[in-house]
């Protein structure tokens, strides 16, 4: 152990275009080990793109991204290994539709981590218990409620024993009564010290679990502050404007 | 009664060229069956690989896949077979004409298989493949474990059409020296031995129908199976 461990995520001068659209503009972002960072911003500001560049689901045009001190490898086996260490939870859950919940959770451990079937199954059941859906283990995703699907998706990501978890609006596709069951799982994860980057507009989660709030607008990181500070005294007009819109209802 | 019997007698007599040479027909039928089974297995395997190339994250592979499809889908089968039968020996690859014929059919058909498989891949939402990659599956694993099993359902009917077209196309390989396959029976019996053309061709058609209709029925069963497995 050296005295200066590298940040878990380190993005420096990252730029990304979709055609002529400049979606990430000189983004610098560091997330330390054990830190929970909430990313906020208007729709289309580049939050999802930012999140997806970290495990290279989206390649970048310029800049550098390091995860746990190592630069992102190019497409191939190395990249697959890195992705195994970076958990990702999607807005639309993206559970494998042709596999049961337990098969969803054991696929990665068996195929990537090369665990034995029974050991993978055992770990998966522990995780399903942790997210509260052991009784759904043998069902197909389509048979589950949205909240249950998202908890299964979190279990699937955790089964890889990731170093860091990325969440892209994990509760935005859920009916209101299911939001809390997912947020509770995420808060518990944060309390256990998981490093997390969470795109969400759930203020309650940000207040309870986040160490930092990052505000994005037009592909730029405009503010980076403690939650309390950001919500009570945003510095930029863009952030004030945005908060005004989401706090009115 | 008498006129009916003599009419039936005449009908049966009409097919004498077929009945008298049923052994030749049977041999040719089995030979054609052999060709199309090899060609079906080969083109399904190759076409699936080409489809995977076309959706690969590696751009040179995508380029190879796209070029492959463009070339073989847009070249007449006859030209492809010419290259196989006469071009391959020219560049030092020698073998039986049977294998040249099969190779030509495989190359040509793989382009159509690839297009059918690719449309199946596109019917699986992008999120499925992303989730697969996000847990660290390699490209091949995400295809094999997540995308192909789900694409399979939509792919069965169009693949059936492609394979049936291939079976019919196999008639052309006879012209490239493969010999003794179903379509060439007419050359043996009609051109060389002067038997009546139409009954012989009807016999040939019946042989192809047995293969294509059986194939179609098997596909129907498969289609219902994968529909239930949902
Ligand atoms: N694959 C893509 N191709 C082209 N444009 C895209 C693509 N993905 C996102 N965009 C565009 O990039 C911008 C940022 O998108 P996104 O990162 O999804 O924003 P957010 O998650 O903050 O809503 C938007 O204008 C969106 O339309
Ligand atoms: Mg988004």
**pLDDT: is B68 or B219 the higher one?**
B68
Contacts of B145 in chain A (CB under 8 A): 96, 107, 111
Nearest-CB residue to B135 (from A77, A98, A108): A108
Position in ligand 1 atom list of the atom nearest CA A19: 4
- Asked if the Cβ–Cβ distance from A75 to B58 is below 8 Å, we say yes
pLDDT of residue B210: 92
Residue A232 pLDDT class (50, 70, 90 cuts): very high
Highest-confidence segment of A161-170, B89-98, B171-180, B221-230? A161-170
Q: Which of residues 126-145 of B touch A (CB under 8 A)?
A: 127-128, 130-138, 141, 145
Question: How far is residue B43 CA from its own chain's centroid?
Answer: 7
Indicate the pTM of the whole model: 0.84
Convert the pLDDT of each residue in B130-152 to its tens digit.
Answer: 999 999 999 999 999 999 999 98
Residue B1, pLDDT > 90, answer: no
Q: How far is A55 from chain B (nearest CA, A)?
A: 7
Tell me what the pLDDT averaged over chain B comes to. Answer: 89
Residue A3, pLDDT > 60, answer: no
Residue A95, pLDDT > 80, answer: yes
CATH-assigned architecture of domain B22-228: Orthogonal Bundle (1.10)
- Asked if the Cβ–Cβ distance from B128 to A92 is below 8 Å, we say no
Which residue matches tokens 């944060």?
Answer: A190
Ligand 1 neighbour A87 (Cβ under 6 A): no
Contacts of A156 in chain B (CB under 8 A): 131, 135
Instruction: Report domain extents, chain B.
Output: 22-228
- Best of B130, B133, B136 to substitute, by most chain A Cβ atoms within 10 angstroms, is B136
**pLDDT: is B187 or A208 the higher one?**
A208
Neighbour-count burial for A99-127, b at 16+ CB within 10 Å, e otherwise? bbbbbbbbbbbbbbbebeeeebbebbbeb
Convert the pLDDT of each residue in A171-195 to its tens digit.
Answer: 999 999 999 999 999 999 999 999 9
CB pairs under 8 A between A and B: 64
Q: How far is B158 from chain A (nearest CA, A)?
A: 21
Residue A202, pLDDT > 60, answer: yes
Ligand with minimal distance to A91 CA:
2
Provide the 10 A C-beta neighbour count for residue A180. 16
Residue A249, pLDDT > 80, answer: no
**pLDDT: is A175 or B181 the higher one?**
A175
Percent of chain A having pLDDT more than 90?
A: 94
* Helix boundaries (H) for chain A: 47-54, 77-85, 101-111, 117-130, 146-158, 176-191, 203-209, 227-232, 237-247
pLDDT of residue B177: 66
**pLDDT: is B203 or A67 the higher one?**
A67
């Amino acid at each position: 152990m050296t005295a200066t461990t590298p940040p878990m995520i380190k993005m420096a001068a990252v730029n990304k275009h979709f055609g002529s659209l400049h979606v990430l503009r000189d983004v610098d972002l560091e997330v330390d080990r054990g830190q929970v960072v909430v990313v906020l911003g208007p729709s289309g500001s580049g939050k999802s793109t930012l999140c997806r560049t970290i495990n290279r689901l989206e390649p970048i045009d310029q800049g550098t991204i390091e995860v746990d001190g190592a630069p992102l490898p190019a497409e191939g086996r190395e990249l697959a290994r890195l992705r195994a260490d970076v958990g990702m939870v999607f807005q639309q859950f993206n559970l494998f539709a042709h596999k049961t919940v337990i098969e969803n959770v054991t696929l990665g451990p068996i195929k990537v981590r090369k665990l034995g079937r029974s050991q993978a199954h055992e770990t998966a059941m522990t995780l399903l218990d942790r997210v509260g859906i052991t009784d759904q283990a043998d069902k197909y995703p389509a048979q589950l409620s949205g909240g249950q699907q998202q908890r299964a998706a979190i279990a699937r990501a955790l089964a890889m024993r990731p170093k860091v978890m990325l969440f892209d609006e994990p509760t935005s596709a859920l009916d209101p009564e299911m939001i809390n069951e997912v947020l509770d799982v995420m808060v518990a994860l944060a309390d256990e010290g998981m490093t997390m980057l969470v795109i969400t507009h759930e203020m309650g989660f940000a207040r309870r679990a986040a160490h930092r709030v990052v505000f994005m607008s037009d592909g730029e990181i405009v503010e980076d502050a403690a939650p309390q500070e950001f919500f009570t005294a945003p510095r930029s007009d863009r952030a004030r404007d945005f908060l005004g819109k989401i706090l009115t209802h | 009664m008498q006129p009916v019997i003599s009419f039936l007698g005449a009908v049966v007599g009409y097919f004498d060229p077929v009945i008298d040479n049923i052994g030749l027909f049977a041999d040719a039928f089995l030979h054609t069956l052999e060709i199309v089974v090899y060609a079906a297995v080969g083109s399904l395997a190759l076409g699936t690989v080409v489809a995977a190339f076309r959706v690969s994250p590696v751009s040179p592979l995508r380029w190879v896949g796209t070029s492959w499809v463009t070339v073989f889908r847009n070249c007449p089968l006859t030209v492809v077979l010419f290259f196989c039968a006469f071009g391959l020996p020219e560049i030092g690859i020698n073998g039986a004409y049977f294998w040249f014929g099969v190779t030509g059919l495989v190359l040509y058909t793989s382009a159509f298989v690839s297009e059918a498989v690719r449309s199946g891949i596109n019917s699986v939402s992008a999120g499925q493949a992303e989730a697969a990659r996000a847990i660290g599956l390699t490209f091949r694993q995400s295809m094999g474990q997540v995308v192909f099993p789900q694409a399979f359902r939509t792919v069965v009917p169009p693949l059936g059409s492609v394979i049936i077209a291939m079976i019919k196309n196999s008639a052309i390989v006879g012209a490239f020296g493969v010999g003794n396959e179903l379509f060439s029976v007419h050359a043996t019996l009609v051109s060389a031995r002067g038997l009546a053309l139409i009954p012989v061709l009807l016999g040939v058609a019946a042989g192809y129908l047995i293969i294509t209709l059986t194939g179609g029925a098997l596909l129907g069963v498969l289609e219902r199976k994968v529909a239930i497995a949902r």
